[in-house]
Amino acid sequence: MADTLVVVEHQEGAFKKTTLSTITAAKTYSGLAGGEVDALVLGSGIAAVADTVAAYGVRKVLLGEGAVFAKYLAVTYAPVVAQVVKEKGYGAVFAPASTFGKDFMPRLSGLLDAPLASDIMGLAKEGDKLLVRRPMYAGNAIATVELAGSPLLFTVRQTAFDAATTSGAKAPVEAVSVSADPAGSAFVSRQETKSERPELTEARVIVSAGRGIKAQENFKLVEELADLFHAAIGASRAAVDAGWAPNDWQVGQTGKIVAPELYFALGISGAIQHLAGMKDSKVIVAINKDEEAPIFQVADYGLVADLFKAVPELISEIKKLKTA
């Protein structure tokens, strides 16, 4: 019975929670196909990441260290994962469908001539067939696909699987010897979006704004509402393109896929591509001055109003509740 490998995401030694839903997906797979789940951490100075992952119910953690992996590059990651997969005979590889997994997993697919299902939402078995569910057409069609060959590769939609929880026991950490040649590719610089707020993909509440917010300084209003919930802030493409919000706040088909308990859409029309990223939220509140805006079709609570009047009122009402 072939085993399954999870490639752990971290940002230069900072463990990323995207890995936790990926572990759950990998365990769902091994429950159907058999075998055990191991994790692979690649990087430099990442023993702490390996130690963190070891608590989440994997059989063992493979630790591949080397200065060449200090900065992530697909061109060094993919061949090393390929090497580990071949040497240890893994039958499946899982990674998060984050910009990390989306970058190197297809390269791995090309190196191994192995099938990759992107952004998977579910796994099931029908007879001998493994059925994989994944979204197409901005989530307006859910495809069931079947993969042929070996190993099978998957990137995992974070909102579709619960985060793995710690198991109490710690899995052993095993060093693997790895090396790679970047062949001229190199990391140059990184411009981090600094924020005290929770990550969009992890937040319980998200307040998003679109073109209707009209200017960057009006995001103050958004922040004020978000502060009441310790919420993350999101944006439509229009708001990001206008330069009012950083790129990694974009929610949608080609941005972040989110499913919080509560999602506020302020001055967002509800284009197909935006809905693709947030329509699995538990409760959706839309404030828009156009009663015909498509966002109202998915909103649990739609308020037809000028957001510059309604949002300050909303903030003061919620504050009253909190102090009552």
Ligand X SMILES: Cc1cc2nc3c(=O)[nH]c(=O)nc-3n(C[C@H](O)[C@H](O)[C@H](O)COP(=O)(O)OP(=O)(O)OC[C@H]3O[C@@H](n4cnc5c(N)ncnc54)[C@H](O)[C@@H]3O)c2cc1C
User: What is residue 259's three-state secondary structure?
Assistant: coil
Q: Site mask, other proteins, residues 73-112, x = CB under 8 A?
A: xxx--x-------------------xxx-xxxxxxxxxx-
CA angle 204, 54, 90 (to 5 degrees): 105
d(C-alpha 109, C-alpha 152), whole Å: 9
Say which residue the tokens 């095993």 belong to: 174
Closest approach, Cβ 60 to other proteins, in A, equals 27
279 binds other proteins (CB under 8 A): yes
Closer to ligand X by Cβ: residue 20 or 235: 235
Among ligand X, other proteins, none, residue 247 binds (CB under 5-8 Å by kind): other proteins
Q: How far apart are the first and last CA of the chain?
A: 60
Among other proteins, ligand X, none, residue 127 binds (CB under 5-8 Å by kind): none
Q: Which two tokens stand for residue 129?
A: 């067939």
Q: Which two tokens stand for residue 196?
A: 């005290």
Of 173, 246, 259, 289, which lies in the binding site for other proteins, with binding defined by CB under 8 A? 246
d(C-alpha 196, C-alpha 186), whole Å: 30
2 binds other proteins (CB under 8 A): no
Closer to ligand X by Cβ: residue 42 or 235: 235
Phi, psi angles (nearest 5°) of residue 36: -115, 165
Closer to other proteins by Cβ: residue 171 or 235: 235
The contact set with ligand X (CB under 6 A) reads 210-212, 236-239, 250-255, 267-269, 271, 273-274, 277, 287-290, 293, 306-308
